[in-house]
Amino acid sequence: MRPIQPQTGTGTGTVTAAGTGTVTANRNKSRRRSDLTLPLPQRDPKLAVPLPLPPTSSSAPSTSHQQTQQLSFSDLDRINRIGSGAGGTVYKVIHRPTGRLYALKVIYGNHEDSVRRQMCREIEILRGVNHPNVVKCHEFYEHNGEIQVLLEFVDGGSLEGTHIGLEAQLSDVARQILSGIAYLHRRKIVHRDIKPSNLLIDSRKNVKIADFGVSRILEQTMDPCNSSVGTIAYMSPERINTDLNHGQYDGFAGDIWSFGVSILEFFLGRFPFAVGRQGDWASLMCAICMSQPPEAPPTASRDFREFIACCLQREPARRWTPNQLLHHPFITRNNGGQREVNQNLHQLLPPPRPLSS
């Protein structure tokens, strides 16, 4: 077969390979030549990519759909009660089809429709939380007028009443809690009730932040949260006394204060303020709002004392963020960190108050 010569002049030439060739000399005149053919290109089977077949009615359901079916409320059996508080009761339950253990939190109260819808929206958002240091929220149900939340079961229980006198161990606990807080804060979630009883540990020494019954999802345009929920013993001064910090409350900084109080309590083996944790409201308010923030004892390392001071600043703006605290020497040195702390890190915020000798 002779090659097709390109046309000259003002006309254009095109070739269509469909068993016969069509040559268009110009827009008004065309002719058909049955003797002109072009071979179709041969496809290399090795380069062929099959198109996905459309789903059929007999296709297997997705993993998420299977999980939703597996976690049906009717498939749960209560084993025993593992905790209770002002907001509800937590039960250890077993999922019969799989034999897996979960924690089922039953939230007290017959809430108004608007409140119930808000709670369900927040729980729905929390179902998307997925971090190794945050208790997983699997499902929620509305049963007999109550909201019931199915959570990850943590077999070691809470850290309430735990004394962690070794700084290396406490550093690892602090690192895990900070990792969970940093994850939540990136997602605009403020916990607002960080305390030892809401910090759980499993048999593999994984620490997880629990109990989002009082948490709130913060949007960029929302007003600073000023709710009175939470445990007063671990609340920051500006949250208790609205006259402090010009009446502004930063929930993210509030979580850091609560974290610092909890870590210091673990180290001391007692509530770090001069009054008891279960004291009356007025005594706690005076101790938290009017006295100097508690400090780590002189027997502790310099790193730990400074770490606590970076958390327990009366002015919220002076408290370090979770990411900054994760780079503090108390965390990096005790956890085998490969990177040295940037010398400029201490200049990101005003330095903490001088440590007493």
> Can you give 267-279 as a three-state secondary structure string?
HHCCCCCCCCCCC
DSSP assignment letter at 35: T
Report the C-alpha gap between 100 and 164 in whole angstroms: 31
Cα–Cα distance between 356 and 353 in angstroms, integer?
A: 9
What b/e readout covers 121-146, taking b as 16+ CB neighbours within 10 angstroms?
ebbebbeebebebbbbbbbbbeeeee
Torsion on CA atoms 309, 289, 213, 157, rounded to nearest 10 = 50
Q: Are 309 and 355 in contact (CB under 8 A)?
A: yes
Which of 75, 193, 223, 250 is flagged as catalytic?
A: 193
CA-CA distances (angstroms) from residue 207 to 47, 199, 200, 251? 50, 7, 6, 22
Residues 6+ away with beta carbon under 8 Å from 297:
268
193 is annotated as an active-site residue = yes
29 is in an annotated binding site: no
- Treating both helix axes as pointing N-terminal to C-terminal, what angle do 251-268 and 167-186 enclose, rounded to 10 degrees? 160
Q: Identity (one letter) of the amino acid at 123? A: I
| Strand boundaries in the chain, DSSP class E | 21-24, 30-33, 76-84, 88-95, 100-107, 137-143, 146-152, 189-190, 199-201, 207-209, 216-217
CB-based contacts of 156, cutoff 8 Å, min separation 6: 200, 201, 202, 203
CB 222 within 8 A of CB 249: no
Q: Which residue has the tokens 């944790």?
A: 277
The alpha carbon of residue 189 and the mean position of all alpha carbons in its chain are separated, in whole angstroms, by: 7
Task: Give the annotated binding-site residues.
Answer: 105
Residues recognised as catalytic: 193
Task: Give the annotated binding-site residues for ATP.
Answer: 105
